Every structure is written in C-alpha cells, then in structure tokens.
Amino acid sequence: MSILNVEHLSHGFGDREIFRDVSFRLLKGEHIGLVGANGEGKSTFMSVVTGKMQPDAGKVEWAKNVKVGYLDQHAVLEKGMTIRSTLQSAYASLFELEQRMNELYMEMGDPDKADKMDEIMEETGTIQDYLTMHDFYLIDSKVDEVARAFGLNDLGLDKDVTELSGGQRTKILLAKLLLEKPDILLLDEPTNYLDAEHIEWLKRYLQNYENAFILISHDIPFLNSVINIIYHVEDCTLNRYVGDYDKFMEVHAIHEAQKKAAYERQQKEIAELKDFVARNKARVATRNMAMSRQKKLDNMELVELSRAKAKPEFNFQVARTPSRVLFETKDLVIGYDEPLSKPLDFMMERGTKIVLTGSNGIGKSTLLKSLLGIIKPISGDVSRGDFLEIGYFEQETPADIETTCLEELWKEFPSWNQYEVRSALAKCGLTSDHIESKVKVLSGGEQAKVRLAKLIGRPSNLLVLDEPTNHLDPDAKEVLKQALIDYKGSILMVCHEPEFYQDLATEVKSCKEWALREM
C-alpha cells in the first residue's frame, strides 16, 4: 500500500536547480534512508512533502487519513510549558475526548437532559471504549518510560522547556514525536543532538518500528542498522536502492562504472561519426552517407556522467609553538544562573588531542566557552597559556545571520581579495552558487563548511571544536578526520561519534566525572 506518492517534482531556489522531474513512492512499513552530499536537497525534500514548501512543479499526494510525524528542529516550544505537559501534548486528541466525556457526565445530572439519557450514555460508552483501547489510562507510564529513555527525568519533568539547551529541546521534540506513533516518521538528522546511550535507544526503537519512516542521517553505522531502502539524492534526481547504505554504495559504484564505460564508448563513436562527416560531406559520392551519419549525431541521446562533486580540502595551518600548559583550571564551577559542575581541576598540555564526551545538557559546550573566556564561570579560576592562537568552531550558525558566504568570510579576513575568499570557500567544498547565497538558506552541512573555512584561513596552535561532525556528509567527515589527524597543533573537541574521534584522540574524557547531573 502506497502512503506517499510524489510525481514529476521539480524545485529550485533562483537559478539553482534542486530537483528535476523527480518521482518517489513510500510503501507501508518501508524504512527509508534519504542520503546524498551536503546541499543536494534532502531537507528541502522533507519540507516539500510536509507542505512547508511548495514545489515549482509536480504533485505530492498522501494516502487518506495518514498521520505524519515530522521532527522539526526549529519548532518553537512555548514558555510556561513543562517537559511533562509537552510530552503529554502528544495525546492531545485523547485529552479532548476525555473532556467531552466529563461534559457528558455533567449532562447526566441535568434533569432537562433526561429524555436524551440513552443517547448520552451511548456516546459516553463509545468514548470510554476508545480511550481504553488507545491506552489513555497508561499515558503517565508511557510518558515516564520515554522520558527515562531520553534521560529527561533527570532534568525534572516539571521544568519549563524554554530553560533547556538546544539539544535537550530536540530530545523532547523527538520523545513527543515517538509518543504520537504516527503512520510515518520523518526524521532529519535526529542523532545530531543525542549522546551514544540515547542513539542506541533510538536505534532499537526504529528497528522495531512497525510503521514507515524516512530518515536523513550522516551517521552511517546508525543508518545501516535501521533502514532497508535507500533513496539517493544526486544531480537533481532521486534513485531507489534496496538494502542498507553499504549495499547502496556497492551498487552505486557499479552503476557509475557502467555509466563511465557507456560514456567513453559513445564519445569514441561520436568522434568517429564527426570524422566521417568532415571527410565525406563535400564529396558527391559519399554525401548521402555523411548526411545519414550527421542525422544520427543530431538524434543521439547523450550519456552524461554524474556531476563532479566539490570535494572539500581541510588543511589547518599551524601557528607558533605555545607554552607547555594550554589551559589550567582551579576549582572551576561552570554554569549560567545555576552551577552545572562540581569544582573542576582540569589541565591541558601542548600536543594533546582531547575529546569530551557525555550527555546533552551537562555542560560540555559551557566548559569550552568558560575556558575560552566567552562566558564567566560561576566561581574558580581559568588560566590560559602563553602564545595561544585558538581556532574555535561553534556548534551552530547564529539563526539571525543575514550575510552571504562571501560576505561572512570577507568580514573575517578583510584584507583578502575576492579571489582569495572564493578560493577558500571552494576548498571547503562550496560551489559558486553556495558562495553567493545567504548563509541562512544553506543546509546545515554547507553552513558548517563556512565555519570551517574561517578556521582554515588563520594559523592556530589549538583547535576548540564543538560537535564539528554535525550535519557533515560522510565524504566531508572523512576528509575532516584526516585533517585533524595530520594537524600538528592541539585539539579540544566535543564529539558524540566514536568512529570519528577514536583514531585521532590522545585522551577521551567523560564529563560525567564532574557534572552535577547526568542526562
């Protein structure tokens, strides 16, 4: 049974074409991985099929009465709502029925409604059966179960949602979505804000999920473990492959080799036909044969190779050697209004590459900002070494950014000419279309490459990286990993992907050692 049909979809932004005559079909129970390089249009596809964006052409048709759940990381959570009430809102329709049932109970005591008593009792019974069938009286235990799975109980379920970090809010939105049990889940990079324990829980949940889902993820081990169909976005097209990501890569490589062989055969044939036409079109005896071959050339359907992808090059420049001790803290307590840590004594020496791990919300990013002096600690001291040249990669691009990529990098390096700015962005895998676009309209991976271009443009002896792998596609992630392995300076990094950091880290520190709470 088809849940979603997309026919002849075309869409673009200005002169930039994203999809061209794309068709897609989602069947009941399919677990789909939507993959492709950064900027190919995966999130745009999600926005189109959910109606958040209207396509330039084509038709999007959902099956009747299908319930769609979309993990929207930009959803606004209202002040005054608690974690518990947000999770319970997944059952809003059941609470409305309960309210109707309570109104009917009130009507039973109204003497003026005596003649309608049978009708009222019948409706009450129908609602009661429906609530029981849909586990209405188990809502609290279901909410507690999911909250516990995502570590939300430790936050306090009565905490206002607007007081939480971005990662914590995303967890709540994901937990609410799973409680709703829609007919189809649309998940756009759900693991970006989850730690290893909660990624493992989500993996088990999706493996046992009976309904259909479409998943965008650059976490290949996670993707492989939960999907059975791949749709690949490339060159404005969408192609279907049966199997996991590894199987897709194997089949895709074969297709590309076959396409290249066909292209080379055709190019050889074209050259021979053109040569024959050039040599024979002027001779009366062979003119007809030349015209026939020219007609064949004119009507030939050309084999096109896949568009060459802009492959990033991340080469970090190294500044002068700093002092032996880069950071040292004494009785450091980090936080904003409330402490997030116990008194912390932490030292980082030159030449080390340290990775910080731990759950969202325990203060990893806050620690980085405290060490860098971006925010003041609640108490304690931070001393920084001499001759430090720090390159800092923030987790996300500011939401209110209005500059183009060109302007953003020029602002960072005002002495550069336009050629130097464009070259720096191109080396990070951005095309001319991206470079002239506003940063805020780019995909998360493309925005990350703009931030990386800033780091690469200036020599450093210490890189402070806050979740640098979020949003990056597998190719870009692999290039970044090798660049960090080759980097001769020191690294302090927050990361939740062991596959990324295990070959480059000299030390992995769990932040639960000093955290006041473990999410």
DSSP-assigned letter for residue 41: S
How far, CA to CA in Å, does 425 sit from each of 286, 329, 351, 405? Answer: 54, 36, 28, 8
pLDDT tens, residue by residue, 285-294:
888 898 999 9
Q: Is the pLDDT of residue 395 over 90?
A: no
Q: Is the pLDDT of residue 48 over 60?
A: yes
Can you give the pLDDT at residue 506? 95
Q: At 234, which helix (H) or strand (E)?
A: strand 229-234
Can you give the pLDDT at residue 28? 87
Q: Is the pLDDT of residue 116 over 80?
A: no
Higher pLDDT, 14 or 19: 19
Q: Is the pLDDT of residue 195 over 70?
A: yes
Give Rg (Cα) of the chain.
29
- 3-class SS of residue 186: strand
pLDDT tens, residue by residue, 477-492:
999 999 999 999 999 9
Can you give the pLDDT at residue 183? 82
Query: pLDDT > 70: what percent of the chain?
Result: 97
Q: Place 72 in a pLDDT band, splitting at 50, 70 and 90.
A: low
Measured from the Cβ of residue 111, the count of other Cβ atoms closer than 10 Å reads 5
pLDDT tens, residue by residue, 200-250:
888 998 999 888 999 999 889 999 999 999 999 988 899 999 999 999 999
Higher pLDDT, 515 or 73: 515
Average pLDDT (52-79) is 82
Amino acid, single-letter form, for residue 382 = V
Residues 6+ apart with CB under 8 A from 141: none
Average pLDDT (114-129) is 83
Q: Considering only CA atoms, which of 500, 314, 470, 465 is closest in space to residue 394?
A: 465
Query: pLDDT > 90: what percent of the chain?
Result: 42
**CA dist., res. 71 & res. 185, Å (int):** 8
The pair of three-digit structure tokens given for residue 5, joined into one six-digit string: 């049909």
The whole-model pTM stands at 0.75
pLDDT tens, residue by residue, 178-194:
888 888 899 988 887 67
Can you give the pLDDT at residue 517? 62
**CA dist., res. 69 & res. 392, Å (int):** 36
Average pLDDT value over all residues in the chain: 87
Q: Considering only CA atoms, which of 316, 405, 365 is closest in space to residue 39?
A: 405
DSSP-assigned letter for residue 113: G
Q: Is the pLDDT of residue 134 over 90?
A: no
Average pLDDT (289-313) is 85
